[in-house]
Amino acid sequence: GGKNGGRNGLVAVAIDKDKSSQYALRWAIDNLVAKGQTIILIHVVRNSSNCKDDSGVNDLVETTSADVESLDDHTRQIFVTFHCFCTRKDINCFNVVLEDADISRAIVEYVAHAAIENLVLGASRHGFLRKLKMVDVPNSICKASPDFCTAYVISRSKISSVRNASRAAPFTSPLQLHQTQKTIGTSLSSSTCPIPRHMSTARGIERTPLKPHFDDGDSLNCNRSPFCKIRGHSPSMLPDLHESDSDISFVSSNRPSTDTCMDLNFDGTDSWRNSNASTSSESSFGSSTRSWTKFSELSSGTDFSSSSLENDDGEAEMRRLKIELQKTMEMYSTACREALTAKHKAVELHRWRVDEERRLEEARSAEESARMAVELEKAKYKAALEDAQAARRVAELESRKRLSAERRALQDSNEMGLNATPLRYRRYTIEEIEEATMFFSESLKIGEGGYGPVFKCHLDHTPVAVKVLRPDAAQGKIQFHQEVEVLSCLRHPNMVLLLGACPEYGCLVYEYMAKGSLEDRLIRRGNTQPLSWQVRFRIAAEVATGLQFLHQTKPEPLVHRDLKPANILLDQNYVSKISDVGLARLVPPSVADDVTQLRLTSAAGTFCYIDPEYQQTGMLGVKSDVYSFGIVLLQLLTGKPAMGLTHAIDQAIEKGNLAEALDPSVPCWPMEEASRMAKLALQCAELRRKDRPDLGKVVLPELNKLREIGDEDA
């Protein structure tokens, strides 16, 4: 509950010298009482005559006047600790001391007759109570309290149980009236409280109505310190404030107290201190008797002996003791703060030490990991160097065998007169080509190949593309003759058809591809429509089919060496065909199985599409085309340039955002199929040949499955 509860009625806390009372007071101040308000502290002194203690044994003690004074001092000590805490919280206090053999009955009847609307009790230790078969006093009070009083039982600063009030108080408490009158300047010397008249009648004590006594004299307004009421008593009377008895938060701070500690005193007889207590029967109370005893104020004529309080020396001694007590409490507070500061510093130092040890251990682990990584890299480097040396020796051996075979073949061809073999292609004159191209007009130029420009024209009433070899291309003429001879015998649906040639002037006549190159379509040159994913899947399968045809050429396989989107042409129906086979070289059959390789002196083709091992060693194989094909597949998926594309797609797959890397101009990519194609492309683009998949056994079957999915969706 909030603090509104405290403003709706008086708040009382039952206290004793235990931790549960401290928890109860702390909770009441935090939840029921605001700063500047007053809280009532109730303490019950059990009668020492014929009274059973908590263990059930009669406590028979002979009571004398000195015993009464001692009991009074002990009660004062209990209040000191709670006054300290109230002082720190700017809360005023009323002290109420009840004397009875039955604690529960005393508190319940006082609450009923003083109209207390909020009662806070500390919880008992239930395990200890069960062991000793004792009564749970807080819960007994909670159950027996009047129906206009809300009773809280607090256990470790939390509500253990609560019994809410069912109605308002039947009358206004005299304590509340006293506070109101005091606020507006009305001094009340006394007021009558409906205190029960059924007081003890044992040993001649009269039944007299009780009056709560409010004294606003200077001697009772404890504005200086909650210890101001302990006059005429030695410092040994002060409570032991070590941790076992009271929480450190209950110790007064070194600031001046602003609390007003007021004692509410009840007395069953006006002069019980002066009664004769020489015998046990005269000084003890009956086991069933009950009185509300006046806990004396330190004003003159109300407490202690009159002669001691009127003594000037006693007053001076009391002032000196108060000053010493204040200094002692200040020193104690300072010592507590220093102890807490030292403890915090020790904890921080320990934490810093643990962190340093952890960082040191992490550094050691990182150093060990780095050392192991270096050793592993050294081993890998040594193994790679040995593999490269072995491959170089094999390549040199195969190169010598190749040269020997070429010499024998040349000799055999000369002997057999192969030079007289008739041409296997249509031969055009330069005049026919010049007439068709309007003397190589720039308006008919449709592209620039690796070895010269390409023109669109008509020959024999057929649209064709004429590729003209540049005169300054030193390597071009040799390559030209090779391309004519190779392409003249190649016939495949996914290979550009060679229609004819003009050998004298280095002109090749190809079938015309209406949709241009795959590169133009990927970048949408001329603002053309983007290729759908179905068409891209089909193009991938068609290019793989044409490439497989080259690699299966008899008697020796062909390696394209310059496969890229610019060399893949599309006809009117977007059927793809491979062009520019002029860079291909005849290689031994053993190249097909990645065992025998040919060492070349220079790398041809575009840099991003060339096999990395071919660039490093000059050794060519059919899997060099597989690498280039992997890059082409990635471009089909993304529509982006080849530079750095493998790394970008690999990172996208690893992070799970492949969809962001796909060509955004294509709607509704099938992510599962696109992911399969991307992973296949990355396998084809592996740096080492032995890590690349076989074109005919792995790549082509997978692409055919993807093409079938695209055909079904279309």
Query: Class assignment of domain 517-714?
Result: mainly alpha
Q: What is the pLDDT of residues 260-288, one digit of tens each?
A: 334 444 443 333 333 333 323 333 333 33
- What is the three-state SS of 193-215? CCCCCCCCCHHHCCCCCCCCECC
pLDDT at 178: 62
Exposed e or buried b per residue across 400-426, where buried means at least 16 C-beta atoms within 10 angstroms of its C-beta? eebeeeeeeeeeeeeeeeeeeeeeebe
Q: Write the single-letter amino acid at 572.
A: Q
Exposed e or buried b per residue across 346-378, where buried means at least 16 C-beta atoms within 10 angstroms of its C-beta? eeeeeeeeeeeeeeeeeeeeeeeeeeeeeeeee
The single residue listed with the structure tokens 């005429």 is 232
Give yes or no for a contact between 585 and 479, defined as CB atoms under 8 angstroms apart: no
Q: What is the pLDDT of residues 653-711, one digit of tens each?
A: 999 999 999 999 999 999 999 999 999 999 999 999 999 999 999 999 999 999 999 99
- Max mean pLDDT among 5-9, 129-133, 255-259 falls in 5-9
Percent of the chain with pLDDT over 70: 67
Nearest to 465 by CA among 455, 474, 475: 455
Q: What is the pLDDT of residues 141-178, one digit of tens each?
A: 988 999 999 999 999 889 999 999 999 888 887 777 66
Write down the domain spans for the chain: 4-298, 340-419, 425-512, 517-714
Q: Coil, strand or helix: which one is 453?
A: strand
Per the prediction, the chain carries an average pLDDT of 75
Mention every residue, 6+ apart, whose C-beta is less than 8 A from residue 666: 530, 531, 532, 533, 536, 639
List the single range of 276-285, 354-363, 451-460 with lowest mean pLDDT: 276-285
pLDDT at 332: 94
Output the pTM of the full model.
0.42
Q: Coil, strand or helix: which one is 580?
A: coil
Question: CATH number of the domain at 425-512, please?
Answer: 3.30.200.20
pLDDT at 468: 87
Please give the average per-residue pLDDT across 248-253, as a whole number. Answer: 40
- The answer to whether residue 640 scores a pLDDT higher than 50 is yes
Active-site residue among 72, 303, 562, 625? 562
Between 140 and 66, residue with greater pLDDT? 140
Q: What is the pLDDT of residues 188-212, one digit of tens each?
A: 333 333 334 333 332 223 333 333 3
Q: What is the pLDDT of residues 374-420, one digit of tens each?
A: 999 999 999 999 999 999 999 999 888 888 888 888 877 766 654 44
Q: Catalytic annotation on 562?
A: yes
Please give the average per-residue pLDDT across 583-603, as a whole number. Answer: 39
Compute the Cα dihedral for 213, 218, 223, 226 and give only its sign: negative
Give yes or no for a contact between 261 and 95, defined as CB atoms under 8 angstroms apart: yes
Compute the Cα dihedral for 390, 393, 397, 399 and give only its sign: positive
Q: Coil, strand or helix: which one is 664?
A: coil
Dihedral angle of Cα 473, 475, 478, 479, to the nearest 10 degrees = -90
Q: What is the pLDDT of residues 518-531, one digit of tens each?
A: 999 999 998 999 99
Measured CA to CA in angstroms, residue 384 lies from 273, 370, 380 at distances of 108, 21, 6
pLDDT at 546: 95
Equal fold, 4-298 vs 517-714: no
Give yes or no for a contact between 425 and 416, defined as CB atoms under 8 angstroms apart: no
Domain 4-298 indexed as CATH 3.40.50.620 = yes
Q: What is the pLDDT of residues 298-337, one digit of tens each?
A: 333 334 444 444 567 788 888 999 999 999 999 999 999 9
Which stretches does DSSP call E strand in 134-260?
150-155, 158-163
Nearest to 332 by CA among 257, 259, 245, 252: 252
Please give the average per-residue pLDDT across 337-357, as a whole number. Answer: 95
Please give the average per-residue pLDDT across 539-556, as a whole number. Answer: 91
Report the length, in residues, of the chain.
714
